[in-house]
Amino acid sequence: MSEFNSFVAIGDSFTEGLNDELPDGSFKGWADRLAGILANGRSEFRYANLALRGKMLAEIMSEQLPIALDIRPDLVTVCAGGNDIIVPGADVDATAAAFEEGVAALRSKGIEVVIFTGPDTKSMSVMSILRGKVGIYNAHLWAIAERHGARVVDLWAMDALHDVRAWSDDRLHFTPEGHRRIALRTAEVLGVPTEFDWREPWPESPDHANWLTLRRSDLEWTRMHLLPWIRRHLRGESMGDGLAPKRPRLTPLLDRPSTADLVERADN
């Protein structure tokens, strides 16, 4: 049984759960899946997810962090800064310093904190140009965790995420199966046993060997995803404008997670 009775997730689209879509158009994601693992059917377990797509680090620290500090749950997961460092000319060191302030504030309240490194983009066409910045940011995150006693989910080291089937067409967000494996890995970092292994090999499929046979061409991806992101950034807009967090209050996780969430592959 988990030692955690309350859990608050803060962050951006990764923690909101894009693109692990539910039938109603909302998103499940690794954090919801982790909450199900931690709850394990317990009615007393409570969960809030304040994350919202498109949020920059400053917004997460000014809008979401104070709520988490006020709630003072047993556990807070923090993933932020990714939207900041992909901006051309971004100061990765300054972003890391601002991130550290948030982690320090949570740890000063005695809250257990889990943070996430950025994934390795080496095998991803076009997105591989961000690899150096992500690597530098990750080095900062490991140092922050060491200084403040936070736990780290090392997405960079997760070989399962190097498979193209872990990634959505936008090359920024994970598939349902990617989210499932991240939830299992996070539970492992927290010392919460599960009967499933995030390291389980992907099914053999020769069609998955070549990125270009599975994903849209770089030109189409640029038109559909990159250019709209650039236009929003230049206008000071965000994907999350006008939206609200999906679980803004710490409430019981009423629905016991289905067996399929953890046993069956979410995306073959």
What are the pLDDT digits (tens) for 123-165? 766 567 789 999 999 999 999 999 999 999 999 999 999 998 9
Number of structural domains in the chain: 1
CB-based contact 114:189 (threshold 8 Å): yes
Could you tell me which residue, 227 or 101, shows the higher pLDDT?
Answer: 101
251 part of a folded domain: no
Whether residue 268 is contained in a domain is answered as no
Residue 35 lies inside a defined structural domain of this protein: yes
Q: Decide if 132 is inside a domain.
A: yes
**End-to-end CA, the chain:** 30
Q: Which of 67-71, 109-113, 131-135, 203-207 has the lowest mean pLDDT?
A: 203-207
What whole-number percentage of the chain has pLDDT above 70?
80
Give the count of alpha carbons within 13 A of 262, CB side only: 21
The closest of 13, 38, 4, 50 to 173, measured between CA atoms, is: 13
Q: Is the pLDDT of residue 37 over 90?
A: yes
> 249: number of CA atoms within 13 Å, CB side?
2
In terms of DSSP H, where are the helices of 40-166?
A: 57-59, 65-71, 82-85, 92-108, 131-148
Mean pLDDT of the chain: 87
At residue 114, the pLDDT reads 99
> pTM (2 decimals)?
0.88
SS3 assignment, position 81: coil
pLDDT of residue 223 exceeding 80, the answer is no
255 domain residue, yes or no:
no
Q: Which pairs count as long-range contacts for 195-198, CB under 8 Å and 24+ apart, including other chains?
A: 195/262, 196/262, 196/263, 198/158, 198/160
- Is residue 97 situated within a structural domain? yes
Q: For residue 248, is it within any domain? A: no
Candidates 112, 115, 7; CA nearest to 57 is 115
Q: How confident is the model at residue 209 (pLDDT cuts 50, 70, 90)?
A: very low
- Residue 263: predicted pLDDT: 47
The CATH number covering residue 78 comes to: 3.40.50.1110
66 band by pLDDT with thresholds 50, 70 and 90: very high
Range of the domain at 233: 6-240
Q: What is the DSSP letter of 157?
A: G
What is the reported pLDDT for 219? 66
**What local confidence, expressed as pLDDT, does residue 122 receive?**
81
pLDDT band for position 207 (cuts 50, 70, 90): low
Residue 92 included in any domain = yes
